[in-house]
Each structure stands twice: as C-alpha cells, then as structure tokens.
Chain A
C-alpha cells in the first residue's frame, strides 16, 4: 500500500525543458569554451616549446660530454715502452712454465693443520699430525 506522502510527492510537477535548450547550450559552449580552448592551445604551444628546446639542448650536451669522456676520449695514461720495467715484463713461455712448476712444488698446508702444529710447539714438537687425527 502506498502511503499518503508518496502520493503527495508524486504531485510535484515536472519542470518542462524549454524549447531550444540544447541549441542554447551549444551557443554558450561555442561562445565561452570555444574561444578559451583556442587560447589554451596557444598557451600550450608557447609553454611547451621552451621546455622541449631546453630538454633538447641538455640532451645534446650530455651526449657530447659522454662521448668526450667515453668512446672519443684519449687514454689518460702513458703507454710504457722500453726501460727496465719493459724488459722485466717480457717473459718467455719457458720462463712462465718454470715459475708455474716451482709454485706447484710447494706443499700447501691446511689452516687447521698449521694451527695444530703451533699448538704442539709447547711440547717441543712441530711435527704435523696426520689428517685423520685432526679434532680428536
């Protein structure tokens, strides 16, 4: 059942839309917003151009500095040629092989073994224990 208030609210009349309202809105849009949007576009061009130009110049500078410091740069050190250092730096393959062999001939000892060896120094013995005896 509909109450009396709902019926009362239904009695409030509708406001009719005046004839030509849509045309009036269009005319106002053309008058107010049309002109403004053109101004805005003009402003936009004026505002954007200096920014784009500045960004282009900055990018060009960065590129130039980058090239100067990178690929286009001269070496910042002097190349060593001749002299004592030059002679000593030159090794034959045989000499290199000899050095390698002499390095490999050293028996490298594990850190643990070395520590244990020094621990035994108090008893007057520096003899390293066998690997299997470590930690026992």
Chain B
C-alpha cells in the first residue's frame, strides 16, 4: 500500500516502514545526489565520502522501526549527513595532519616548508574553486552547515533553523557570520587575482 504523505521522502520512508523493501531502494536513488553534495561541501574532497554516504543510508535503514514522520524526510536526513560529516572532520583532526617525509631508506628527513619559501606562489596557481572549498573548510562548522543548506540546498531560514535545531534569528546571524568569514578569507585571494 502506498503512503500518501505530501513529502516524497517521508512517503517512501513510511512505505518502507510498512514492509515495502523496494521503497528503501527508491529512497536511496532519490537522495543519493543530495548525500554526496552535502558531504562534499561539509568535509571537502575526501576519499571517505562514499563510505559516509553509505553509512547515512544504513542509518536510515536501521531507523525503520523507530522512524516518526515529524517533518520532511530531508530535514532528518540532513541531520544524519551533518553528524557523519562533522564526526569525520573531528576524527581527522585527531590524526596527525602531516608526517615527516622519509627517504628511500625509510629514515625521516627534515621537513622543508615550501609555502614559507614562496608564500604567494600557491595562491596564484590554485584553482578558484579549490580556494572556495578551502575557505569553506576553514569557517566554523555551524556556519558551514548553515551556508551549505542555504546556498547549495536552497533551504529557507525556517528550514535551516529546523535542521540545525536553532531559532530563525540565530540562523540569520549564523548565515551573516558565515558570509563575513568567507569574504574575510577569500577577499585577499580575489584582490590578488584582480591585480
């Protein structure tokens, strides 16, 4: 029996909950693009994106019994994606970002900071989209999530507030700060490109 919920995601989830196993496959097909897009923007280019996206859908599958349609399916799914993405970032932060390079004999050699030798070289050669991605990765997590939801997912203030479980006023302020942070990071690069 097909559920008649106005939200397609919720309708599929309710069908799946009612025992229709193929509804879950439809749910994956309908939301896989969203999962990859959000994870890519939250954690940056990362080899684990596919694993995290799979994990997100596994969580949806496991929530089959306990799922209660309180809002849109996507609101709930965004939360799963953000939780997974932010956990991944935190896990990576605990790992050493750099290790000393080793020579052919496996002996660590002294680290040479090439960026310090030629500070402007990297920025001029870098692709602008890489710079934007790097800037997005630098801003605080909550600002990044809000900006991703607004700019890339097209959510309005109320919807963002619902996903992030904050007030609309706080969301507005968060988005303002996110844009300010991005401008602050990217403005010097932009000026350098324009010169």
A residues contacting B by CB (< 8 A) are: 4-6, 8-9, 11-18, 21-22, 24-26, 28-29, 32-33
B58 touches A5 (CB 8 A): no
Give the tally of cross-chain contacts (CB within 8 A). 66
B182 touches A5 (CB 8 A): yes
A5 touches B53 (CB 8 A): no
A17 touches B128 (CB 8 A): no
- Mask: chain B, 144-170; 1 = CB below 8 Å from A; 0 = not: 000100011000000000000000000
Q: A25-B54, A25-B57, A29-B58 are in contact. Are A16 and B129 (CB under 8 A)?
A: no
A5 touches B28 (CB 8 A): no
Main secondary structure on chain A at its contact with chain B?
Answer: helix
- Residue of B49, B53, B129 touching A11 (CB-CB under 8 A): B129
* Cβ–Cβ < 8 Å partners of A29 in chain B: 24, 57-58, 61
Q: A25-B57, A28-B54 are in contact. Are A4 and B36 (CB under 8 A)?
A: no
Task: Offer 26 A-B interface pairs, CB within 8 angstroms, sorted by A.
Answer: A4-B190, A5-B179, A5-B186, A8-B128, A8-B132, A8-B182, A8-B186, A9-B147, A9-B182, A12-B132, A12-B136, A14-B37, A15-B39, A18-B50, A21-B50, A21-B53, A21-B54, A22-B28, A24-B50, A25-B28, A26-B25, A26-B28, A28-B54, A29-B57, A29-B61, A33-B58
Q: How far, in whole Å, are A26 and B37 apart by their CA atoms in the complex? A: 20
Q: A9-B151, A11-B132 are in contact. Are A32 and B58 (CB under 8 A)?
A: yes
Q: Which residue of B lies closest to A33 (CB)?
A: B61
The yes or no answer to B124 lying at the interface (CB within 8 A) is no
Report, nearest first, the 5 A-B pairs whose CB atoms are least far apart.
Answer: A15-B40, A15-B36, A11-B129, A22-B28, A25-B57
The yes or no answer to B62 lying at the interface (CB within 8 A) is yes
Q: A6-B151, A8-B128, A12-B41 are in contact. Are A17 and B58 (CB under 8 A)?
A: no
- Residue of B29, B36, B58, B128 touching A28 (CB-CB under 8 A): B58
Interface size class, chain B: 20 to 34
A16 touches B151 (CB 8 A): no
Closest Cβ of chain A to B110, distance in Å, is 36
From 8 to 58 in chain B, residues with beta carbon under 8 angstroms from any chain A beta carbon are 24-25, 28-29, 32-33, 36-37, 39-41, 49-50, 53-54, 57-58
* Cβ–Cβ < 8 Å partners of B32 in chain A: 17, 21-22
- Residue of A4, A13, A17, A21 touching B129 (CB-CB under 8 A): A13
The yes or no answer to B183 lying at the interface (CB within 8 A) is yes
* Cβ–Cβ < 8 Å partners of A16 in chain B: 36
* Cβ–Cβ < 8 Å partners of A4 in chain B: 190
* Cβ–Cβ < 8 Å partners of B190 in chain A: 4, 8
Q: How far, in whole Å, are A33 and B179 apart by their CA atoms in the complex? A: 41
Given contact pairs A5-B179, A17-B33, a sample of 16 additional A-B residue pairs in the complex whose CB atoms are under 8 Å apart? A5-B182, A8-B128, A9-B182, A11-B128, A14-B36, A15-B39, A15-B49, A16-B36, A17-B32, A22-B32, A24-B50, A25-B57, A26-B28, A29-B24, A29-B58, A32-B58
